[in-house]
C-alpha cells in the first residue's frame, strides 16, 4: 500500500494519538507547577510526530529511515521524562504504564518501517549506512 500523505501513516497516527493523550495528562495536576517537565514531554512527543512527517516528505527511503531514527530517539526521551513525571507525582503508575506502552508501540512501528525502508531482514540490527 502506498501512502499519499503522512497523516495516513499508522506510525504518524500513533504519534498523534500519543501527543493528544499526553496533552490531556499534562494539562492538570502537578504538571501545572512543573512546566519544564511538561514542556520537555510535549516537545519530545511533538518531535516524534514531526520527524515522521518530515522524513516522509523527503521522498527518499534512506532519508525517511534517518528521520525515523530521530523520532525513536525522541520517543526514548519521552519515556525517560515519564520516569521523572512518575517520581514527581505528576502521573499515576497506571498513566505511566499506558503512556510508556503507547511509546513502545510507536518504537516497534518505527523499527519495522526502518527495516522495510533499508531492506533488512527481520531481527537484523537496523542501521542506516553512513553517508558517502
Q: Considering the domain boundaries, does residue 76 fall inside one?
A: yes
> Does any domain span residue 2?
no
Encode the chain in three state secondary structure. CCCCCHHHCHHHHHHHHHHHHHHHHHCCHHHHCCHHHHHHHHHHHHHHHHHHHHHHHCCCHHHHHHHHHHHHHHHHHHHHHHHHHHHCCCCCHHHHHHHHHHHHHHHHHHHHHHHHHHCCCCCCCCCCCCCC
**33 within some domain:** yes
As for how many domains the chain has, the answer is 1
Q: How confident is the model at residue 132 (pLDDT cuts 50, 70, 90)?
A: very low
Domain extent for 105:
9-118
* Tens digit of each residue's pLDDT (9 = 90 or more) over 56-98: 999 789 999 999 999 999 999 999 999 999 999 999 999 999 9
Amino acid at each position: 500500500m502506498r501512502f499519499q500523505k503522512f497523516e495516513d501513516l499508522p506510525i504518524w497516527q500513533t504519534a498523534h494519538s500519543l501527543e493528544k493523550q499526553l496533552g490531556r495528562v499534562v494539562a492538570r495536576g502537578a504538571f501545572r507547577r512543573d512546566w519544564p517537565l511538561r514542556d520537555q514531554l510535549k516537545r519530545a512527543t511533538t518531535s516524534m510526530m514531526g520527524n515522521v512527517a518530515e522524513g516522509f516528505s523527503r521522498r527518499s527511503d534512506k532519508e525517511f529511515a534517518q528521520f525515523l531514527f530521530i523520532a525513536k530517539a525522541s520517543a526514548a526521551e519521552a519515556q525517560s521524562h515519564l520516569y521523572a513525571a512518575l517520581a514527581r507525582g505528576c502521573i499515576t503508575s497506571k498513566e505511566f504504564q499506558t503512556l510508556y506502552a503507547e511509546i513502545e508501540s510507536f518504537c516497534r512501528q518505527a523499527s519495522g518501517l526502518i527495516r522495510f525502508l533499508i531492506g533488512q531482514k527481520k531481527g537484523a540490527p537496523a542501521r542506516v549506512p553512513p553517508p558517502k
